Amino acid sequence: MNHAVHGIMTTIAYNLQAVRTAIAEAAVRAGRSTDEVTLLAVSKTFAHDAIREAYLAGQTCFAENYLQEAIEKIIALHDLPLEWHFIGPIQSNKTRIIAENFNWVHSVDRLKIAKRLSEQRPENLPALQICLQVNISDEESKSGIPLDEVDELAIAISKLPRIQLRGLMAIPAPSKDARLQRQPFKLLREILERENRHDLNLDTLSMGMSDDFSAAISEGATMVRIGTAIFGNRHYGDKHS
């Protein structure tokens, strides 16, 4: 189905265009180039036809949280040249399937997980691209590495052979105030700069979601992870609540 034939845009195509425009505006306001910001479409809970629709509107990078659901989509969409990012919690008995099926993993928060991903990354694939998830808002409920452990973990993980440490990811506590939104993103950028004093050459700040991506781009985000603003509200089943 080619939605563009009659010049009619689908909702997803329309939303994508609006998000891309907002990303470009935020980049210009921050004195940055739009090319520095990669848009990841967070497709969790949406079926593969929604992903196909986004692909037809020019989107190639997709992010998923739930492994079983993600693998079903990766298989169903095998005919498309998509880049898959895993952004959900990682159980150590699931690392092999992640190492075999994804291009990027943003949610690494333990050395044990990183070691397994490195050992299990298939030889015929390029190194798995990794971000460390940092617990930036110090909330009990959120996963991520405590701030004072990032240094040690980053250095250890950067030495593993089959993964490439690219940067840091965070999910700050939500805030409606644009000025308050910037604080945790600024902190994550400063941590990245600090890590780079150890010659780690990290180039990725995975930060910003539908409600705060402009603030994240102001503070240097290079990957924004956007779901709702592209696909609409998620309707959670039991397993996703």
Ligand X SMILES: *Cc1c(COP(=O)(O)O)cnc(C)c1O
- Residue 219 C-beta: closest distance to ligand X, Å: 16
For residues 150 and 171, which CB has a smaller minimum distance to ligand X in the complex?
171
Q: Residues interacting with ligand X, by CB under 6 A?
A: 42, 44, 65, 87, 171, 209-211, 225-229
Nearer to ligand X, 74 or 230 (CB): 230
Q: Which is nearer to ligand X, 159 or 234 (CB)?
A: 234
CB nearer to ligand X: pick between 142 and 162: 142
Least distance in Å: CB of 171 to ligand X?
5
In whole angstroms, how close is the CB of 225 to ligand X at the nearest point?
4
The residue sitting closest to ligand X, measured at its beta carbon, is 227
**Per-residue three-class SS string for the chain:** CCCCCCCCCCHHHHHHHHHHHHHHHHHHHCCCCHHHCEEEEECCCCCHHHHHHHHHCCCCEEEECCHHHHHHHHHHCCCCCCEEEECCCCCHHHHHHHHHHCCEEEEECCHHHHHHHHHHCCCCCCCEEEEEEECCCCCCCCCCECHHHHHHHHHHHHCCCCEEEEEEECCCCCCCCHHHHHHHHHHHHHHHHHHHHHCCCCCEEECCCCCCHHHHHHCCCCEEEECHHHHCCCCCCHHHC
CB of 159 to ligand X, least distance (A): 26
**Which of 156/180 has CB closer to ligand X?**
180
Closest CB 131 distance from ligand X, rounded Å: 11
